Amino acid sequence: MTLETSIQYLPGVGPKRAALLGQELGIETVGDLVHLYPFRYIDRSSIVRIADVQPDLALVQVRATVQKVRLFAKNGAELPAEKLKYNAVSRLSAMVADDSGEMEVVFFKGVKWMHERLVPGNTFIFFGKPAVFQNHLNMVHPEVDAPDNSNTGVLTGVYPSTEKLKNAGITGKVMLKLMATALNEVLPIVPETLPDYVLKEKGLVPLTFALRQIHFPVDQASLGKASYRLKFEELFLLQLSLLKQKYIRSHNAVGLTMTQVGQPFNDCFNALPYELTGAQKRVIREIREDMKSGHQMNRLLQGDVGSGKTMVAVLSALIAVGNGYQACIMAPTEVLSQQHYANVSKYLQPTGVRCALLTGTTTAAQRREIHAGLQDGSIGILIGTHALIEDTVQFKALGLAIVDEQHRFGVEQRARLWNKGYQSIPPHVLVMTATPIPRTLAMTLYGDLDVSVIDEMPPGRKPVTTMCVGESKRHAMHNFIRDEIAKGRQAFIVYPLIFESEKLDYKNLQLGYEEIMKVFPLPDYKVAIVHGQQNAQEKAFNMDAFVAGRANILVSTTVIEVGVDVPNASVMVIESAERFGLSQLHQLRGRVGRGAERSYCILMKGTKVSKESQKRLDLLCATENGFELAEEDMKLRGPGDLEGTQQSGLPISLNIASLAKDGLILSDARAYAQHVLDQDPTLQDQKNAPLLKELQRDKYKTKDYSQIS
């Protein structure tokens, strides 16, 4: 038997159970089984005195002697022990005691077997969840073991399971048994996956020890060593694979060499109405180094909302133009593309560089003109939605592709940009995101990219006062908006739009709009509305009215979430705030605090707010730092659910390590992977043969991330 042997040949499995294990847990081979780790352990090493049992304890174990056993019928009447018919019994109740106190154990099933077993005067280990019922301590359906049972004195693993598995008799106990059989079969032949020197340098236990102890720990210390080794290995191999890809790309992928800064850059730079922040300058230097290196740039630019990424994009695009190439900036929505276009055009004025906007609503005639301009090179910068990755859009010499708010783009869409390069050399790629991602997640999601961070806000950014209020404050909220409008300010009111209940959401939005129209009537007030069911013209008309200051209030869905810049807006009201994710709330809040003296974010919460949602809202009131929020969000929800990551997903799914909890191991594993590659970049050294072999496994090949970012 090897790790690759089909699970059905493991003694105790067979074809039926094998099919079920495959279907329910994805276990096809014996190897899959031994790599299914317990997700928690029950400590059966300690026996609790009945007097010390607290009903809120999870699972406890007591050693007690049976005092008295009684049987009850469905109607609650006690049944006499003589002439007993077991099918009339609905409940068995036994009083058990140790020298500290007594407790009731109750069985509704398996009554006959328990009645025969629980003979008064005999002592057992009862293992289960304590509760209080009618003022006394009880335990329903505990496990009952003889006191010398070998289960005691160890940590027992609990494996993932499903109803179907349990119904088919694959209980926790059966899993443990299968695991023991499998380990005995394969442990003698399991090859070590990490080279000796790695084990030594990192102080890791061997794989065989780790596998044995992760399933059947002899004590906490051994379990700790086993789990550390397996987590380190998982994160180390993942980082090794990402960093190796990065190395190969940066050494092999030819890039367009852009040696000059160029006149357009200088013209724009010299006319800037403000000084760039230190962070903006640093990031532009990093980008400039990439663009002249002769290797293709693949850089992620992370910067909190309002940190000034647009300027970085414009100056980078101008470097490309100054070297005789073109650039494109792709944004996720029509509104955003338009706003980018308006901003960028303004910045380009002193440079004479021509820029065009291409979206879904561009007319055929305009399109023809743009296509011509792209092909003869007279258009230097193209801005647009995904309309600009259509095959008909051909550049004369595309040198740089900038993707804004990348998490809204699918992976294939980005791949299409790749093919628009000059003489089949792919363009440099700059991906910008305002979704702050926790460091550990960034290392993994973008482990093969270079990352630049704008960690400094432009001067003049005002703090936003955030408060969370309920329905009773709606009237006060309206008055507050009225006061702000009287000061010449504008307000956003945002409604959630959650896919599953789209119809309902629009109803809410519509009702909200009507209410606002009543509270803020014409001609004193103007209210604009923007949502996804409007056509592009309607949307643009309403949006423009707000941006230009003709409308005092903008009622909308989250279409305004990213990018939209209205410095005069000082209030952001978010309706049903509990229905938004933390990072989305943070993005929305970032729409204010851009100009006005003081800005406010008012989170309106519904009547039913879960504890977790309340925590999110509290966090948001407590800090404005996007990275801090992202870290907290990950702790709250685990990385799998983080917004902005569902689409891209993790490059591989982690089996034992957690990005939320194992950040330190991850940093260490990444640094060590880099250290190994520094000495042997392509892992050709004999001593690294086991690593190379591991990296050839399918899971590291599922997607070539170097081709899509």
Cβ distance to Mg ion smaller for residue 38 or 306:
306
Q: Count Cβ atoms within 10 A of the Cβ of residue 423 and give its class: 0-12 exposed, 13-18 middle, 19 or more buried.
A: exposed
Stretch that binds ligand ADP, among 116-124, 186-194, 274-282, 630-638 (CB under 6 A): 274-282
- Residue 311 contacts ligand ADP per CB under 6 A: yes
Q: How far is the CB of 264 from Mg ion (least distance, A)?
A: 21
Residue 224's CB is within 10 A of a number of other CB atoms, namely 13
310 binds ligand ADP (CB under 6 A): yes
537-566 positions binding Mg ion, by CB under 5 A = 563
Phi/psi region, residue 134 (left: phi>0; alpha: psi -120 to 50; beta: rest), is: left
Residue 337 binds ligand ADP, judged by CB under 6 A: no
Written as one letter, the residue type at 531 is H
Using the rule CB under 6 A, is 276 a contact of ligand ADP? Answer: yes
124 touches 103 (CB < 8 A): no
Closest distance of CB 590 from ligand ADP, Å: 7
* Cβ-based nearer residue to ligand ADP, 458 or 532: 458
Are the beta carbons of 378 and 355 closer than 8 angstroms?
no
Of all residues in the shown chain, the one whose CB is closest to Mg ion is 563
Q: Which tokens belong to 428? A: 């440099």
Distance of CA 607 to the CA centre of its chain: 27
Q: Determine the Cα–Cα distance for residues 565 and 591; give it in Å rounded to an integer.
A: 7
State the Cα–Cα distance between residues 125 and 65, nearest whole angstrom: 9
Q: Which is nearer to ligand ADP, 210 or 279 (CB)?
A: 279
Closest CA to 145 of 157, 127, 129: 127
- Give helix 220-252 / helix 663-679 axis angle, nearest 10°: 50
Question: Considering the rule CB under 6 A, would residue 142 count as an interface residue with ligand ADP?
Answer: no
**What does the CA dihedral 108, 112, 117, 122 come to, rounded to 10 degrees?**
70
Nearer to Mg ion, 176 or 403 (CB): 403
For residue 284, the minimal CB distance to ligand ADP (Å) is 11
Q: Is 243 or 327 the residue whose CB approaches ligand ADP more closely?
A: 327
314 versus 393: smaller Cβ distance to Mg ion: 314
Binding mask 384-423 for ligand ADP (x = CB under 6 A): ----------------------------------------
Positions 423 through 482 that interact with ligand ADP (CB under 6 A): 434, 458, 460
Q: Which of 29, 152, 241, 280 binds ligand ADP (CB under 6 A)?
A: 280
Which residue from 192, 274, 533, 646 is in contact with ligand ADP, where contact means CB under 6 A? 274
| Binding to ligand ADP in span 550-569, by CB under 6 A | 565
Q: How far apart are CA 87 and CA 565, in angstroms?
A: 74
Read off the tokens for 417.
Answer: 């940009």
- What is the C-alpha separation between 243 and 672, in angstroms, rounded? 11
Q: Is 303 in the site for ligand ADP (CB under 6 A)?
A: yes
Closest to Mg ion by CB, 213 or 310: 310
Q: Which is nearer to ligand ADP, 432 or 603 (CB)?
A: 432
* Site residue total, Mg ion (CB under 5 A): 1
Per-residue burial over 647-670, b if 16 or more Cβ lie within 10 Å, else e, is: ebeebbebebbbbbebbebbebbb
Count, in order, helices (H) and strands (E) of the chain. 23, 23
d(Cα 355, Cα 7) in Å, to the nearest integer?
61
Calculate the dihedral angle through the C-alpha atoms of 275, 281, 285, 288, rounding to the nearest 10 degrees. Answer: -50
Task: Answer with the entry of Mg ion, ligand ADP, none that 438 interacts with (C-beta below 5 to 8 A by kind).
Answer: none
When CB distances are held under 5 to 8 angstroms depending on the partner's kind, the choice from Mg ion, ligand ADP, none that residue 133 binds is none
By CB under 6 A, residue 587 contacts ligand ADP: no
Report the residue number, 32 or 304, with the smaller CB distance to ligand ADP: 304
Which helix (H) or strand (E) covers residue 330, if one does? strand 326-330
Q: For 379-390, b where at least 16 C-beta lie within 10 A, e where not — what string?
A: bbbbbbbbbbbe
User: Shortest gap between Cβ of 415 and Mg ion (angstroms)?
Assistant: 23
In the list Mg ion, ligand ADP, none, the entry touching 303 (Cβ below 5 to 8 angstroms by class) is ligand ADP
d(C-alpha 436, C-alpha 404), whole Å = 14
Cis before 463 (ω within 30): no
Check residue 227 for interaction with ligand ADP (CB under 6 A).
no
Among the listed ranges 163-171, 187-195, 298-306, 488-496, the one in contact with ligand ADP (CB under 6 A) is 298-306
Q: How far is it, in rounded angstroms, from Cα 241 to Cα 232?
A: 14
Rounded least distance, CB 305 to Mg ion, Å: 8
Which of 250, 277, 552, 557 is close enough to bind ligand ADP by CB under 6 A? 277
Q: Tokens 């996007």 sit at which residue?
A: 626
* Partner that binds at residue 458, options ligand ADP, Mg ion, none, CB closer than 5 to 8 Å by kind: ligand ADP
332 lines the binding site for Mg ion (CB under 5 A): no
Q: Does 308 bind ligand ADP (CB under 6 A)?
A: yes
| Neighbouring C-alpha atoms within 13 Å toward the C-beta of 541 | 6
Closer by beta carbon to Mg ion, 264 or else 563:
563
- Is 325 in contact with 396 (CB distance < 8 Å)? no
Q: Are 354 and 380 in contact (CB under 8 A)?
A: yes
704 and 253 Cβ atoms separated by less than 8 Å = no
Closest approach, Cβ 359 to ligand ADP, in A, equals 19
Can residue 204 be called a binding residue for ligand ADP (CB under 6 A)?
Answer: no
Angstrom distance (rounded) from CA 664 to CA 671: 11
User: Residue 215 has which token pair?
Assistant: 């399933």
- Answer with the entry of ligand ADP, Mg ion, none that 306 interacts with (C-beta below 5 to 8 A by kind): ligand ADP
Smaller CB distance to Mg ion: residue 138 or 406?
406
Considering only 182, 283, 291, 305, the residue that binds ligand ADP (CB under 6 A) is 305
Nearer to Mg ion, 125 or 348 (CB): 348
306 binds Mg ion (CB under 5 A): no
User: Does residue 636 sit in helix, strand or coil?
Assistant: helix
Choose from Mg ion, ligand ADP, none: what does 709 bind? Cβ within 5-8 Å by kind: none
Interface with Mg ion, residue 255, by CB under 5 A: no
Q: Is the dihedral of CA 63, 69, 70, 71 positive or negative?
A: positive
Quick one: 267 or 455, whose CB is closer to ligand ADP? 455
Which stretches of the chain bind Mg ion, using CB under 5 A?
563
Which stretches of the chain bind ligand ADP, using CB under 6 A?
274, 276-277, 280, 303, 305-311, 434, 458, 460, 565, 594
